[in-house]
Structure 1
Amino acid sequence: MRALIVIAYWIWMLLKWRGEGSRGEEVEEMEEEEEEEEEEKNIQEKEKMTKKLKSGVVDRYGPLHEWCS
């Protein structure tokens, strides 16, 4: 009787462990997707800032043409 309980427990733990493993992979995939989205947003923001800097709209130290000459 004890042997059946122990075997059932092992099977339950194995199934539980395998289930957590697949969930862990899903979580990793979601985290990777979020990181990729953040990287894309950062790239877009950098592109916007470079466009603004090139047009002279945003410059910390004054007009851009003063630094270029």
Structure 2
Amino acid sequence: KFAEYEEIGIAEYWIVDYAALGGKRFIGSPKQPTISVYTLIEGEYQITQFRGSDRIQSLSFPELSLTAEQIFQVVL
């Protein structure tokens, strides 16, 4: 889907891996709950990852003031 989303111009999408089920190449090692924000910049996705007390940054939601942990608490 990554390439398809780039092709049709989806400006931003998020993957919320609250259970740390993603592969190490996607969420790092040691595996931990991670929010990955993919932002389309000049036709290619740039990924930013957030964990724990990291404050989420989003071009689509610039007023958002939540940490990754706050989002995980709602999901669980």
Q: In which range does the TM-score fall when normalised by the shorter chain?
A: under 0.3
Tell me which protein shows more strand as a share of its residues. 2
**Rg bigger for which structure?**
1
**TM-score normalized by structure 2?**
0.20
**Relative contact order: is structure 1 or structure 2 higher (C-alpha 8 Å, sep ≥ 6)?**
2
Tell me which protein shows more helix as a share of its residues. 1
